[in-house]
Chains A and B, each alone.
Chain A
Amino acid sequence: MKMTGAEMVLAAFEEEGVEVVFGFPGGAVLTLYDEIFKKGLRHILTRHEQGAAHAADGYARATGKPGVVIATSGPGATNLVTGIATAYMDSVPLVAITGQVARPNIGTDAFQEADITGISLPITKHNFLVKDIGELPRMMKEAFHIANTGRKGPVLIDLPKDLQVEQGDFVYPSKVEIPGYKPTYAGHPGQISKAAQAIRRASRPLLYTGGGVVSSGAQAELLTLSQQARIPITTTLTGLGSVPHDYELFLGMPGMHGTYAANHALNECDLLVAVGTRFDDRVTGKLDTFVPRAKIIHIDIDPAEISKNVVVDIPIVGDVRLTLEQILKRLANAETDGTEEWCQMVREWKAAHPFRYCQDSAECLKPQFVIEEIYRVTRDKGPILTTDVGQHQMWAAHYFRVNRPRKFISSGGLGTMGFGFPAALGAQVAHPDELVVCIAGDGSFQMNSQELATAVHYRLPVKIAVINNAYLGMVRQWQKYFYEGRYAHSSMAGSPDFVRLAEAYGAAGLRVASADAVTPTIERALEMDGPVLIDFQVDPEENVLPMVAPNTSIVEMIGGE
């Protein structure tokens, strides 16, 4: 069928089941926007392209489907960069479509020209500059395929303005044939047998799992493995929710702000079963002190993750879910040597070393208390939680006990301040009937607070809890511990009145400054329609503890007694 380039993009969206796109228009995508208008495709107009990228990311993390974001050439495209990099670092499927100047003008420093395929090369899984209308259907197909298979990630398509109006034949390929792209899904049977045997023999095994469990949907297999073989589990930030928080053998998060139980289990285990995770330095601490007593099994779909940071003994390249399934088959009715003594030990650690804080005066509000209360009040609703980056993010990981995957959405790898709120909007678009809560930092929130307009515009009833400590708290904390308390430019003096800021946009704003107001105010916010921001004015000098100093052993925990 004859179609214009813009029509082809829309037709491809339809083929791919795209229900909503996030974006911001401009000169180089006017034709595409005209087509969006004509076809009535749902489009969420954010107030900044970065917001659109994070919203598409939040949508993808909340659903498992690729998020789609559109921006114009030049500044529109460069504004996507942080959002794309955020998705790349956490392996989130995203398709970004950018306008480009007309083909004859490429390379001439034309108005609003930026080499976005060059700029995004290191932060995309792959990208395309479409030069020939005949290539467009195939590239669209490949973009969605690459974004959402193997180790997922963002793919960018750069679409010159003149190509959007050019006519061509549209036949959407039914299959993709990319000779250089063949992800491995089935783990090697020999390696799987070895892994099963190692698990059977271990007396102090530990599962260390990450975002890969969420993206392959392996939570059931993971839990079964843990239950059958009696293996405790620790889960990274991006894996939170893939193991029910109240499961007896769940140890919480490992690493720099991990639990005592998780870090000590890592230190003592004799077998580490790493699943869909990448041995990030925030988890391992000083590498040569990491899991000193353990043999390591590493299951990951990306061969390049195997032995990248830590050399492993039994690598298995494959889909996490399929591989765990195979391991379970090999373990069925086999004798597992007792791990009960070990399980007992980690349970004792867990009981003896919970996270602690002290909400002793009504006046001085502790951020941990706020988050724990938000959790308590909303738990029956099973909300989707998003966070920004900083202390509040760690406290959310500690005190918000998520029980299901895709319910805890946070920028792990890139640690992008300003991610939480637009990501919450994306999650709310995906799940209009669910409660979406954003735990924001006062610093982070200001990086994308313009999206309040988006929330109001589309009546997205996200509840925003600004954990307002009047500091770039995490920076201040590092300055306290590692720079002798010199608080260089980490004060947030000059922040707006967040309540009035919300109100200026037409959203509701509430303020809480004392402990006894916390619960009733949360309850009130939940009863209100539309977006609500609560400004929680918390103790400015609270620290996230325990803490492991960078590049030290993870059992040297500051405040970890």
Chain B
Amino acid sequence: MRRILTILVEDRPGVLTRVSGLFSRRGYNIQNIAVGRTIEPGISRMTVSVEADPLTVEQVVKQLNKLVNVLKVSDLTEEASIGRELMLVKIKADPVKRSDIQQMVSTFRGKIIDVSPDSMIVEVTGDDEKLQAFTLMMQEFGIKEIVSTGQISLLRGSKTMRDVKA
């Protein structure tokens, strides 16, 4: 099952290696990982999606907590949370297909951010499911390249990750 972990870390050299190294070393599979700053200086936040059963996740969380630079780990999977991922897709777009593409993009509330004679770049955000659906639709036109950020998540309401028990 796919679990979403958020991790607060001290912003020290090598901290990303420590976290990702731990996952690979102990045989846990990271599906994606996103890292960015927080409002507290010196503290970064990672969102990691990992495919694992509950017992394994419990072990992952405990091992993460043992890393000296890790401040807090929360499993958001069971919480009411919002997850978003940003994806840029470069699509083959010969002039006759353009309007079809445009229509599809607007259905997914995406944005066309670059256009050239035979291709365009679309920006979409959403959760994993939506992006997969969008990718599927675009395959019809021909995808040249995809890049995505990995999911980031926040809890709904006023609760923050610090309120979630590890």
Contact = CB atoms under 8 A, between A and B. Distances in A.
Interface in B1-29: 9-10, 13-14, 17-18, 21, 25
A303 B69 CA distance: 17
A40 B21 CA distance: 40
Interface residues of A, number: 20
A121 B17 contact: yes
A178 B68 contact: yes
Given A121-B18, A307-B58, A180 B63 contact: no
Chain B at the A interface: mostly helix, strand, loop or mixed?
Answer: helix
B-side interface size class: 20 to 34
Contacts of B25: 122
A125 B63 CA distance: 11
A122 B27 CA distance: 13
A290 B110 CA distance: 56
Nearest to A118: B17
A307 B58 CA distance: 9
A307 B71 contact: no
A307 B55 contact: yes
B62 interface: yes
A305 B17 CA distance: 23
Contacts of A303: 62, 65-66
Nearest to B66: A304
Interface string B34-55: 0000000000000000000001
B21 A308 contact: no
A138 interface: no
A148 to B, nearest CB: 14
A372 to B, nearest CB: 41
A121 B18 CA distance: 7
Contacts of B77: none
A482 interface: no
A129 B69 CA distance: 14
A268 interface: no
A117 interface: yes
Of the listed residues A125, A180, A302, the one surrounded by the most CB atoms of chain B closer than 10 A to its CB is A180
A318 to B, nearest CB: 15
A180 B10 contact: yes
A179 interface: yes
B66 to A, nearest CB: 6
A304 B67 CA distance: 11
A181 interface: yes
Nearest to B43: A179
Contacts of A129: 13-14
Contacts of B71: 179-180
B132 interface: no
Interface string A126-152: 100101000000000000001000000
A125 B13 CA distance: 16
A311 interface: yes
Given A118-B17, A121-B17, A131-B13, A304 B59 contact: yes
B17 A311 contact: no
Contacts of A302: 66
A266 to B, nearest CB: 23
Given A180-B67, A180-B68, A180-B71, A122 B21 contact: yes
Of B9, B18, B62, B68, the most chain A CB neighbours within 10 A belong to B68
Contacts of B62: 303-304, 306
Contacts of B55: 307, 311
Nearest to A305: B62
20 contacts: A118-B14, A121-B21, A122-B21, A125-B68, A129-B13, A129-B14, A146-B68, A178-B68, A179-B10, A180-B10, A180-B67, A180-B68, A180-B70, A181-B68, A302-B66, A303-B62, A303-B66, A304-B59, A304-B66, A308-B59
Interface of A: 117-118, 121-122, 125-126, 129, 131, 146, 178-181, 302-304, 306-308, 311
Q: Which 8 A-B pairs have the closest CB atoms?
A: A304-B62, A126-B68, A180-B71, A181-B68, A303-B62, A304-B63, A180-B70, A180-B68
